[in-house]
Structure formats: C-alpha cells, structure tokens
Amino acid sequence: MIVAVPVQARPAPQQSQEQKGDSTLDEAGKIAARPAHDVGIGNKKVPPVLQRAAAAPYSMRGTASCAQLSGGIAALNTALGPDFGEAVAVTGTKAGQIAKVAGETVVDTIIPFRGLVREVSGAAAAQRRMQAATYAGLARRGFLRGIARGKGCRV
C-alpha cells in the first residue's frame, strides 16, 4: 500500500508509555499476520471508494458542487490516508523501525518459496488488485482536487 509522505512533517506530540506500547503491539500483530496474508487468509478487501475510483478515475460524476467534491476527497482520504502536503505526525523510534524490519525478515523466512506460495494462493493477485485500486484512488483524489481548485472550492 502506498503511504503519503508529507512535504513537511510536524513533530509528533509526546506519546505516553501506554500509547507507545499499543503501537508496538499493533506492529507485532501485523508482522505475525504476514504468513496468513501470504496464503490468502487475511487479505483485505478493496474498499468500495477505491473500486469506484479504479472503474472511472477521471469521471465527472460527483463534481457538480463544492460539497460533492469535498465529500469525495474526504472519502478517498479515509481509504488512502492523508494527502501529500498535509501535516502528519511522525511516530516511532529508530530502534522500533529496526526491530520492525528484523521481525518482518524473520517471519518472511518461515515460509519457504514465499513468492510461489503467494502466487498459488492468490495473495499476490489480491495485493496487485489493491495496489491498482490505490493508484486509481490517488489519481481520483488529485483529479477532484484540481476540479475543486478550478471551481474555487475550499477543500
């Protein structure tokens, strides 16, 4: 999945130890679930807003008013995360990032012939569908922002 990287990130507010622990547990859970994703058990469905974007990223449908444009952009933001240029809190530490990469590497080595398993199980195809829908969603969001700017809408 593509993650938007802001032009200028604001420093994250200080997190409590409990919030940091929750974040670490979330990451550990995601890493531990990778084998399930590899065999197609835990794959996410493509959100409907991204399915519509993939079907017609440059459709003029839903662009008649500023409210429609704003709603369309907000729906895409929910599915895609923040847009480029929007401030995003940067979280995590260098040690946490290293631990995450190390954990992913260990889990990835559990399944021999991981790439082949992903192709046979359909997990790779599901990931390609999600990526294509994500790219279409990014294009749609940019298109809607351009239409909004041309109409003088504040979005």
Domain positions in the chain: 17-151
User: Is residue 50 over pLDDT 90?
Assistant: yes
Residues 77-116: b if buried by 16+ CB within 10 A, e if exposed: bebbeebeeeebeeeeeeeeeebbeebeeebeeeeeebee
Q: Is 50 exposed, middle or buried (0-12, 13-18, 19+ CB in 10 A)?
A: buried
pLDDT tens digits for 86-129? 766 666 677 777 776 777 676 666 666 666 666 766 677 888 88
pLDDT tens digits for 4-35? 444 444 444 454 444 444 555 566 555 555 55
The confidence band for 83, taking pLDDT boundaries of 50, 70 and 90, is: confident
User: How confident is the prediction for the chain on average, in pLDDT?
Assistant: 74
- Stated pTM of the model: 0.58
Name the range with the highest mean pLDDT among 22-26, 81-85, 146-150: 146-150
Percent of the chain at pLDDT > 70 equals: 55
Q: Which residue has the tokens 């895609």?
A: 80
Q: Which residues pair with 11 in a beta bridge?
A: 90
pLDDT for 23: 58
